[in-house]
Amino acid sequence: RKEVEQDPGPFNVPEGATVAFNCTYSNSASQSFFWYRQDCRKEPKLLMSVYSSGNEDGRFTAQLNRASQYISLLIRDSKLSDSATYLCVAPGSGNTPLVFGKGTRLSVIA
């Protein structure tokens, strides 16, 4: 099983839609989880951390399910500017602190 797995998409959604991404991780001892956003030809940027109790930041909600070893990202009221690739991040095994998923591509269409 890969350390971090994401559906690559693309997810094509209309403006105003709600979209959810899931990501599974293999290291059951994982403590730190993040979602990053990467725009085309740019560097990954931190979108939000994921806390055990779940957390919300405006239109974005992140959830952690330890039993099933997945994290999710929910985007409500999608905007054109949300179009990007969303990378899931979880701790790796061995000496690897964090492992990045390959990303899920989102296109929000007018």
Partner 1 sequence: DAGVIQSPRHEVTEMGQEVTLRCKPISGHDYLFWYRQTMMRGLELLIYFNNNVPIDDSGMPEDRFSAKMPNASFSTLKIQPSEPRDSAVYFCASSLLAFYEQYFGPGTRLTVT
Could you say which of 21, 25, 34, 86 contacts partner 1 (CB under 8 A)? 34
Residue 15 CB, shortest distance to partner 1, in Å, is 27
Q: Are strands 19-25 and 4-6 parallel, antiparallel or unpaired?
A: antiparallel
Q: Does 103 bind partner 1 (CB under 8 A)?
A: yes
Nearest to partner 1 of 42, 66 (CB atom):
42
Q: Are strands 70-75 and 98-100 parallel, antiparallel or unpaired?
A: unpaired
Q: Does 49 bind partner 1 (CB under 8 A)?
A: yes
Please say whether the beta carbons of 103 and 8 come within 8 A: yes
**What are the distances in angstroms from CA 109 to CA 17, 40, 61, 82?**
10, 16, 21, 10
Positions in the binding site for partner 1 (CB under 8 A): 31-32, 34, 42-46, 49, 87, 91-92, 94-103
